[in-house]
Structure 1
Amino acid sequence: MKRFLPIFLFFLISVQLFAQKKEFEKELYVGVGGGALMSSVDFMPNVLQKQHLGIHGGISAKYITEKHLGLLLELNYAQRGWTEDFPAESGFSYTKTLNYLEIPFMTHVYFGKKVRFVINAGPQLGFLLGSSQNMNDALAADIAAKKQQNPDAPIGMQYSLEPRKFDYGLIGGIGMELKTGVGNIELEGRYYFGLGDVFESRKSKEDFYFNRSAHRIIEAKLTYYYRIW
C-alpha cells in the first residue's frame, strides 16, 4: 500500500496543476480614447439635415470575466447635434451643437488572442451639459418676417424649444484590438440609436410639437487600454 502512495500523490498533484492551467485568467483594463462622430436628429415632422460633425472621448474600464466575454463601462464627452440642409439659393444656414456626458454600459464579446475581433453592445445614458447654435442673419430675418405676419404660426420651433437634460438609447459597435507589450490598441466603429427625444413631445393637438426628435450617431473611436491585472 505504501508503494502506491507516491503514485497516488503524484496523480493528485498532476490533476491540480492541470485544473489550474485550465482555469480562466480574468483581465481588467483601464483605457482612454476618442475620435470623431457624425450625428443627426430624427425629427417628425421632418427637418432636412446634413451630417453634423463632432468629437467624442473619455475614459473606460473593461473587465474580461469569461472566455470571449466581458463588460465595458465608459464615461465620455460628446458633441452631438444637427446641421440643417437648405437650398443653396436660400442663403440660410443653421447648426445646433449639444454637448453630452455619456455613460455606455456594454457587453464585450471578443474572438482571437493577440489580434482580437470585438463586438460591444448595450444601453447608454446621456446628460446634457450645454448647447449652442449658429444661425446666419438671412435665416434670422426670414423667421422674424414670417412671425410678424403670423405670430401664432409654428415657425422654426426647433430653434426656440429647450432641449431635454436627459437622453437614453442603445449603442453597438464592431472593431479590432491589438495586444502589445505596452498595452492594447482598439479601433472601433459604433452606432447610437436614441430612444429618448431631444425635445419634449406636446400632447395637445393645438400645439406644434415633434412626435419624435431622437439622436442618430455614427462614431469612430480609437482607445488605448492598459492592463491592471
Structure 2
Amino acid sequence: MKKMIRFSIFSAALFLFISHNAFSQISVGLRGGINLSNFKAPRPVKFDSKTGLNAALLINIPFSPKFSLQIEPGFSQRGSKFDIDWQWNLDSTRQRTHIFGKILLGYVEVPLLFQYKPRFGKFEGIVSLGPEFRFGLGPQEIKSTSRTYKDGVLIEDTYTEYDMRQPNGYRTFDFGLVGGVGVSYPLQFGRIFTEGRYHYGLRGMTASSELYNRGISIHLGILIPIKK
C-alpha cells in the first residue's frame, strides 16, 4: 500500500514537472489554406476534386526539441464534384441520362498530430501524422443537374438541391488519418510555416455506402511560443 502511495506521488510529481516544462514551451497560432477534396467510391459515379477553404487554431505541445503534439481545432470545407452518364437502347431509340453536380460539406475538424521536426540550419522540417475527427457543421447538401436525351435531343432538364442533414442515414461524424510534410522558418516572435497534407477518411458517409472523404490540403500558418 505504501509503495502504491509513493508511486502515485512520484507519478503526480513527474507529471507536474513535465507539464510545467512543456507549458513553458507551448506555442499557439493560426493556419489557413485550401482543400482539394474528393471522394473514394465505386463506379459508375465519377468524382472530381472540389476546392474549399480551411482554417484552424493551433496548440503545439513539445515533448523534446524534435517531437511534439499539435492539436488543431478548426473549420474545413469539403465535398466533391460528381458525374454520372448512362446510355442505353430502348425500342430502337438511343437513351441517355447525364447527372452532374457537387456535394458541399462543412466540418469542424480536430486533427491530433504527432510531429517530427528535424533541423536544417535555420529551417525546420515538419513531418505530421495522426488521427483526424470531423463533425458536420454548416452546408451539407447536394446540388445536381439531371438531363435526359432521346436520340441526342434534350427532352428533360432538372435542377435539384438536396439537404443531407435531413434524417436520411447520412453521417455527420467522420474520422480518418492525416499525414503531411512541410517546413518552417524562424521570425523574431515565432515561426512561420507551410505544409501539405493528405487526408484519408475511414468512415463511410452512410452505414451502407463505400463513400469516403479523401483529399489533400495546403496550409500557411504561424506559431508563437507562450512564455511565463
TM over 0.5: same fold? yes
Q: Is the aligned partner of 1:227 residue 2:208?
A: no
Three-state SS of the structure 1 residue aligned to 2:174 is strand
Structure 1 stretches lacking a partner, 5+ long: 1-22, 145-157, 202-209
1:48 maps to: 46
1:95 maps to: 102
Contact 1:100 1:126 in 2 (8 A): yes
Q: Give, in angstroms, the shift of residue 115 of structure 1.
A: 1.1
Three-state SS of the structure 1 residue aligned to 2:26 is strand
Contact 1:26 1:63 in 2 (8 A): no
Q: Could you say which structure has the higher strand fraction? A: 2
Q: How does 1:47-196 map to 2 (within 5 A)?
A: 47-85=45-83, 92-112=99-119, 114-130=122-138, 131-136=140-145, 138=147, 141=156, 162-196=169-203
Query: Quick one: distance in 1 between partners of 2:111 and 2:44?
Result: 28
Q: Give, in angstroms, the shift of residue 122 of structure 1.
A: 0.3
- State the superposition RMSD in angstroms: 2.8
Query: Quick one: distance in 2 between partners of 1:38 and 1:25?
Result: 35
Q: Give, in angstroms, the shift of residue 63 of structure 1.
A: 1.3
Three-state SS of the structure 2 residue aligned to 1:57 is strand
Cα displacement string for residues 122-161 of structure 1 (whole angstroms, at most 9, x for unaligned residues): 001110114123223637x5789xxxxxxxxxxxxx9x95
**Computing the radius of gyration over CA atoms, which structure comes out larger, 1 or 2?**
1
Contact 2:62 2:68 in 1 (8 A): yes
Stretches of 4+ aligned residues off by more than 2 angstroms: 23-27, 89-93, 136-139, 141-144, 160-163
Q: Could you say which structure has the higher helix fraction? A: 1
Query: Quick one: distance in 1 between partners of 2:170 and 2:28?
Result: 33
Contact 1:26 1:65 in 2 (8 A): no
The TM-score normalised by the length of structure 2 is: 0.71
**In structure 2, what residue type is equivalent to 1:60?**
L
The TM-score normalised by the length of structure 1 is: 0.71
Three-state SS of the structure 1 residue aligned to 2:203 is coil
Q: Give, in angstroms, the shift of residue 220 of structure 1.
A: 0.1
Contact 1:27 1:65 in 2 (8 A): no
Cα displacement string for residues 23-54 of structure 1 (whole angstroms, at most 9, x for unaligned residues): 99962110111101111111135520111111
2:89 maps to: none
Query: Quick one: distance in 1 between partners of 2:98 and 2:207?
Result: 30
Change in 2 beyond 3 A, CA 1:44/1:137: closer
Cα displacement string for residues 184-204 of structure 1 (whole angstroms, at most 9, x for unaligned residues): 111000001011111221xxx
Contact 2:55 2:74 in 1 (8 A): yes
- How many residues are treated as equivalent by the alignment? 182
Cα displacement string for residues 159-198 of structure 1 (whole angstroms, at most 9, x for unaligned residues): x955201101000110000111032111000001011111
Q: Give, in angstroms, the shift of residue 86 of structure 1.
A: 5.2
